[in-house]
Structure 1
Amino acid sequence: MKKKIVALTAIAVLSVGTAAQAAASSVHTVQSGDTLWSISKDNNVSVEELQAWNELDSTLIYPSQDLKVEDKVETYVVVKGDSLYKIATKHNISVDDLMNWNNISSDLIFPGEEFVLQGTKASTTNKTAQKATAPVSAPASAPVQKAPSAPVAVKAPASSTAGKEMTVTATAYTAYCAGCSGTTATGIDLRANPNQKVIAVDPSVIPLGSRVWVEGYGEAIAGDTGGAIKGNIIDLFMENKQDALNWGRQTVTIKILD
């Protein structure tokens, strides 16, 4: 936010996680106030994908413009320390369902593995993990069930940075800091959406619009920039000023999910 780069267009009328039985793609008609970022967020896709599907060479869009939106399902990328029980609890689903939807017959999971989270909406889009790292085990309390189902397909990463882990310096800011407009570089109104998890990044390191997992903060959108945010430095949006002060400056591990 630090300065709003461009006022584009957007209202999001399509829902996240379209069912597999739906059409292969749909059309979003741009409304006044829409931005590519807001459309991508509401449809669970990336800005880069929207640009590729619609052959856009910039982020400029216009009211009444029709944009093609491919159907996608909600997924989760396993990070170090995860277990089936932890993932299922976080997304308010059962371990049995998670295993059935992803053709899992063991409680062993691996960092980098991608799971679908929507049952019949999942179709066959699960990503088979590159099992080069140590497995992550579910706690004893997590039930294990064999789930013979159809094989799943490998899904290519959304960008060359997807799955990348790095150590960064993280500071924190609020929407009411001195000189702040409350609107991010990608058009997110933080004052209207105080619960939104957004981080300011150096776009040459972390592409804007990426989903990023941040140690101690959780999953966030790389939706802002800043003059002091260069290289391996990020700035975390927090609704409460005291929370931002309490965070201070920390060295944390992050992972770019897509």
Structure 2
Amino acid sequence: MRKFLVSVGFVATSCFFVLPISAAEYEVEEGDSLWKIAQEHNTTVAELKEINKLDSDLIFPKQMLEIDREYKVKRGDTLSEIALEHDVTVSDLKEWNNLETDLIIIGEKLTIKVNKEQSEANKEEKAQEVNKAEETQEVSNTEETPEASEPEVEKQSNTSSKESSEQSGETISVTATAYTAKCDGCSGITATGINLLENPNMKVIAVDPSVIPLGTRVHVEGYGEAIAADTGGAIKGNKIDIHVPTKDEAYDWGVRSVDVTILD
């Protein structure tokens, strides 16, 4: 991803676009009814009453209603596990949260639109996702069989996971610059599909994948825990670029030598 970059002697800019973020709450307006609000937000009256602990259909102007539920991602979570736990599909989660990939970050808040009247098509999709996950697990359990042949893409994925595992706990010294997704006429999608304009406080670093594989969780001295989720033309070898919310913070960071510890 190209981006606003603060370094010694130069600044680079590029293009980002903004996608809307679903609100978790709704302020009741004059003339609203629970039925109308449920229709507009793709849910049911029963669900609105349950979420907001309402004993009747009576609502009043300026009352705040919780429309969506939020889930905070914790270590080890996957989209398929979260979908199964909340009786929704992975496709639902990606659509509601504008996710272009299955990558999720620890601490990230996911919007979950619970609908008890879920369609049979969604239920079937969920069942297929569970079956696919089980089949993947079975393949994983038989990976050591010498005769087993693996698709090229799967081999690359296993290699990346192996590299990350071997590096776990390792600390390397790097030169760190900073960038922000907020610049005029810019685009904020990282190399792994994360929209930084929608998630301005997300801890993301741009890396050279040959040094730190994409998707690796790291701890950066002076910055904290982050995900290696982006790349950059100037990021080669032992160099990283940390994402910060504003240009001022990028300027304040400047150029530093820091230690990066591979977490997983």
Shorter-chain TM-score category? 0.3 to 0.5
Higher relative contact order (Cα pairs below 8 Å, separated by 6+ residues): 2
Normalised TM-score (structure 1): 0.46
Normalised TM-score (structure 2): 0.45
Which has a greater percent of helix?
A: 2
Structure index of larger Rg: 2
